[in-house]
Amino acid sequence: MKHVALYPGSFDPITFGHLDILERATNLFDKVIVTVAVNKEKSAVFTGEERLALIHECLEGKSWAKNITVNKFTGLLVNHAQKLKADTLIRGVRQISDFEYEFRMALTNKRLAPDVDTVFLMPDEEFTFISASLVKEIAYWGGDLTSFVPDNVAEALKSKYGNK
Ligand code: PNS
């Protein structure tokens, strides 16, 4: 049986941490679909389309990314998963503090769709503290983004925030 995994998130914006989880997922599943949640579009810095474009750019030329597709969704994640015939949801867990929220979300999704399982993956140690919200704060104050996000994302953040 072919296993299709959905990797959902806000990806506002995608970071090196997300890319690390994504690469790991490609080693475990036949097909991985990155899906950008656009439910709270108004509170995001990047539009859904911008987030998709940044992800596409980050994956360009990566040998491990050939079985990855990218899309976006609104509404309930499990409905999107079932529509795409994905049997697994991937979530990255960086530290214990992530786990309570992730555990609640996984159990909720399991109750809504018992046929869809959540798999938690750990990123490499060097990415355990990176989050999109920290990255946005660094960008806001004009800090160095080199070790947090790929160059295209850093450029996009710079043009969003300008030079503070
Ligand atoms: O990157 P994030 O913001 O931690 O991702 C959270 C996300 C988008 C995966 C989660 O909020 C979600 O699945 N939203 C869609 C609505 C939904 O299905 N909610 C029920 C699951 S608790």
Q: What's the one-letter identity of residue 70?
A: V
pLDDT tens-digit series, residues 14-73: 999 999 999 999 999 999 999 999 998 779 999 999 999 999 999 999 999 999 999 999
**C-beta 8 within 6 A of ligand 1:** yes
Evaluate the CA torsion angle 74, 4, 130, 136 in order and state its sign. negative
- Quote the tokens at residue 86: 């994905």
**C-beta 109 within 6 A of ligand 1:** yes
Pocket test for ligand 1, best of 6, 7, 10 (most atoms within 8 A of CB): 10
What does the pLDDT average to over 104-119? 98
Which residue minimizes the CA distance to atom 6 of ligand 1?
9
Whether the CB-CB separation of 93 and 120 falls below 8 Å is answered with yes
Q: Which class is 4-158 in CATH?
A: alpha beta
Which residue minimizes the CA distance to atom 2 of ligand 1?
9
Q: State in Å: Cα 111 to ligand 1 middle.
A: 15
Percent of the chain with pLDDT over 90: 92
Q: Where do the domains of the chain lie?
A: 4-158
Is residue 163 pLDDT above 90, yes or no?
no
What does the pLDDT average to over 73-88? 97
pLDDT value at residue 40:
83
pLDDT value at residue 164:
56
- Quote the tokens at residue 83: 């529509």
pLDDT tens-digit series, residues 144-156: 999 999 999 999 9
User: What DSSP assignment string belongs to the chain?
Assistant: ---EEEEEE--TT--HHHHHHHHHHHHH-SEEEEEEE-TTGGG-SS-HHHHHHHHHHHHTT-GGGTTEEEEEE-S-HHHHHHHTT--EEEEE--SHHHHHHHHHHHHHHHHH-TT-EEEEEPPPGGGTT--HHHHHHHHHTT---TTTS-HHHHHHHHHHH---
d(CA 85, CA 81): 6
pLDDT value at residue 129:
92
pLDDT value at residue 78:
98
pTM strictly above 0.85:
yes
Pocket test for ligand 1, best of 33, 51, 73, 77 (most atoms within 8 A of CB): 77
